Amino acid sequence: MRFINNVSLKKASVLTALLLLAAATTGTQAASALPNFADLVEKNAPSIVEISTTRMVDTRNPGNDQEIEELLRRLNPDADPDLELEGIPEQRQMGAVGSGFLISDDGYIMTNNHVVAGADKIQVNLNDRRVFEATVIGLDEPSDLALLKIDARDLPYAEFGNSDVLRVGDWVLAIGSPFGLEFSAAAGIVSAKGRSVPDRGSTYNYMAFIQTDVAINQGNSGGPLFNLDGEVIGINSQILSSTGGSNGISFSIPSNVAINVMTQLRETGAVERGLLGVRMREVDYALAEIFDMERPQGAFVDEVLADSPASVGGILNEDIVLEFNGHSIEHYTDLPFYVGQYRPGTEAEVIVFRDGQLQHLTVALGNSPTNVVATVEPEIVRERSNPLGFRVSELGLQTRQIEGISGVRIAELNDGPGRKAGLLVGDIIVALNRQEIDSPQAFAQIANNLPEAGFVSIRIIREGQGTTLALELAP
């Protein structure tokens, strides 16, 4: 039998304590190296907004109804087709949700162009639960940015940072409304910079995106991307996904682009971009060796367009653009990106590599084909057949005879007391102002004799369930 004396036990105890202390210290250091986003979220969450849009979309073409009936007669000559088309509206209202953020205390908001383009109505929900209708100040499809305005004062807002100093590997945080889950935060790192995303639906793909692994989903579009200093260094725009959900590849518009676009939209409602006038491609290893470059870099000029600013400024075919107005051109996609940040008429300093030498040129930028004012669609004012703000149609034969219901169906719903009360297209109205309805004519007669102001009741059937709502009429 072996015995361990007290001295050995003390040595073992001391050694164990030291090992535990070292492990605890290592764990603490590792934990302290990870950022804590709680303070950042708490500070910036009040500047985030949820944007809800509605628009009217076509559901069917009434001109095709006769063709469908004729086809059914051919397929079944012995029966009289009853398509029940009277209850199907020609248009329906479609809603969508996106994100945005306040950039000033007087209600200016940045978001994505694709979030609000074509919307009939834009509603902004603030973090403090106040709701405002927004006005479009300007839209810019090439950058996928939009500037909105709400009528409010003394609002919290986010500050822009410098996206040029952002590095691959930096921590970033996104706040938005993925799938309508408002004011949700998600963190990650910058995966790459200067990404070009082809076939993104733009007429002019000049953007150099920030790529991150932040979990960006539908509804995050237009929301801000923060650095650890709480500055907006990007605006979330799109994801690369085969499923529609986050795959850890998301793209954000650099803040320096957003600042330029925001400034111009605020000043004029439109964005102007400069034009160089060259066709170009990447400098690969073979081209670098042919032209005696130390390494592949820059934008190789395949062709200078005739009478273009580049031609006038002295740029030649097979020049390699290494710098544009102080911006280093590492990849050919960098050149249109930086050119697009300057307005027409800007005299830009360009450095090209030609015959083994650096050439310094000055080029006065022309007008980009994207310099077209993006007009905001005027509000559509639809004719109303009654003071309630909706149209009705007769019930189909099946509803009247088989289900035994008398009334009218809501075929089209516009702004007005009906929408505010919660009515939906397709609801069956069986009584208005406590008077039963059995036809559109009866409905029209009752509606035209309603009081100019006050509350009236409306009895409806929705999905087999009856309920009574209150309509508030205003003079």
pLDDT digits over 363-407, tens only?
999 988 765 433 333 333 333 345 788 888 887 765 665 467 788
The per-residue pLDDT for 384 is 38
* Separation CA 96–CA 119 (nearest Å): 9
114 catalytic? Reply is yes
Whether residue 168 is contained in a domain is answered as yes
368 catalytic? Reply is no
Same domain membership, residue 278 and residue 244: no
The per-residue pLDDT for 95 is 80
Mean pLDDT along residues 261-269: 92
Local confidence band at 56 (pLDDT 50, 70, 90 cut-offs) = confident
Local confidence band at 84 (pLDDT 50, 70, 90 cut-offs) = low
**Which CATH number is 178's domain given?**
2.40.10.10
Whether residue 241 is contained in a domain is answered as yes
Where is average pLDDT lowest: 25-29, 53-57, 387-391, 411-415?
25-29
Phi/psi at 233 (nearest 5 deg)?
-115, 5
**3-state secondary structure labels for all residues of 165-191:** HCCCCCEEEEEECHHHCCCEEEEEEEE
Local confidence band at 116 (pLDDT 50, 70, 90 cut-offs) = very high
Where is average pLDDT lowest: 25-39, 81-95, 444-458?
81-95
Whether residue 215 is contained in a domain is answered as yes
Where is average pLDDT lowest: 36-50, 136-150, 250-264, 456-470?
456-470
Whether residue 154 is contained in a domain is answered as no
Mean pLDDT along residues 35-43: 92
58 catalytic? Reply is no
The per-residue pLDDT for 29 is 52
Same domain membership, residue 53 and residue 145: yes
Q: Active-site residue among 52, 114, 252, 368? A: 114
Q: Active-site residue among 47, 221, 246, 252? A: 221
The per-residue pLDDT for 43 is 94
The per-residue pLDDT for 135 is 94
Same domain membership, residue 169 and residue 144: no
* Separation CA 129–CA 427 (nearest Å): 29
Q: What percent of the chain has pLDDT over 90?
A: 45
The reply to whether the predicted model has a pTM over 0.85 is no
Whether residue 155 is contained in a domain is answered as no
Same domain membership, residue 442 and residue 356: no
Whether residue 27 is contained in a domain is answered as no
Q: Produce one character per residue of 270-297: b if its CB has 16 or more CB atoms within 10 Å, e if not.
A: ebbbbbbbbebeebeeebbeebebeebb
Same domain membership, residue 405 and residue 463: yes
Mean pLDDT along residues 103-130: 94
Mean pLDDT along residues 271-298: 91
Q: Active-site residue among 140, 144, 319, 427? A: 144
Same domain membership, residue 279 and residue 205: no
Task: Count structural domains, the chain.
Answer: 4
94/251: higher pLDDT = 251
Mean pLDDT along residues 85-96: 65
Same domain membership, residue 299 and residue 230: no
Whether residue 430 is contained in a domain is answered as yes
* Separation CA 123–CA 131 (nearest Å): 7
Whether residue 101 is contained in a domain is answered as yes
- Domain span holding position 282: 274-367
149/411: higher pLDDT = 149
The per-residue pLDDT for 416 is 85
**Which CATH number is 439's domain given?**
2.30.42.10
Same domain membership, residue 174 and residue 139: no
How would you list the strands of the sheet with 131-133, edge to edge?
131-133, 121-125, 48-58, 91-102, 108-111, 145-149, 135-140
Same domain membership, residue 235 and residue 209: yes
Same domain membership, residue 278 and residue 231: no
Same domain membership, residue 301 and residue 355: yes
